[in-house]
Amino acid sequence: MTQPTPARRLDEFKPDARFAWCVTGSGHMLEESIALARRLPGVDLFLSAAGEEVLPLYGWTVAKLREHFKVFRDNSASSVPVGMIYNGEYHTVVIAPATSNTVAKCAYGISDTLPTNLYAQAGKQCVPGIVFACDTAPSVITQTPHEWVEVRPRAIEFENVERLARFAHTTVACSLDDLEAALDQRLSDLKLAWNTSSS
């Protein structure tokens, strides 16, 4: 079997390369994920169409996001912004939070949204990806825009997470602590540090 190509060396990225942080249409861990993104240096946001619908339900309009990040919307069929991965402009692709839909697509090589395209093209460029899969426990307590509810992920969700975790250059985070640890490791690899202020 063909061996995976080594991850891209740091000197292959532009000196001012950034995190490409994708937000999908998940209410679960949305606020917590954005809070982490705000603590990182150099982050651009990439929204799925569902992400753009769900974010305002939790108080995050595109206008408000733009106070903190450069924001790319999913408004082209071919995910035009993905070309920036090829130019070395992003050293890491993060999908957080990742819906079960996006996890399934990534795990089966489907790329038909901005986040799934970024993940797939990053993989083909050997750029590390970090995916925060939220449906990873038999019972997940999650916040809808109006109330807290229990979600019981199915076997297919667990199978897709396990499948994705076997992909080269991919770290799957199953909790917020996992996500923070994966980002911390990546910052250390990049010789970068967390922001001391999130403003």
Residues that bind ligand FMN (CB under 6 A): 24-28, 48, 50-51, 54, 57, 99-102, 113, 134, 142, 144-145
Element containing residue 26 per DSSP (H, E): none
> Which residue, 92 or 117, has its beta carbon nearer to ligand FMN?
117
Amino acid identity, position 95: I
By beta-carbon proximity to ligand FMN, the closer residue of 149 and 193 is 149
Close Cβ partners of 184 (under 8 Å, ≥ 6 residues apart): 194
Q: How far is the CB of 47 from ligand FMN (least distance, A)?
A: 8
Nearer to ligand FMN, 48 or 171 (CB): 48
Query: In terms of Cα–Cα distance, which of 175, 195, 194 is closest to 183?
Result: 194
Query: What is the number of the residue whose Cβ is closest to ligand FMN?
Result: 25
22 alpha carbon, distance to own chain's centre:
4
Q: Is 25 or 128 the residue whose CB approaches ligand FMN more closely?
A: 25
Rounded to the nearest whole angstrom, what is the least distance from the CB of residue 56 to ligand FMN in the complex?
A: 10
Please say whether the beta carbons of 13 and 88 come within 8 A.
yes
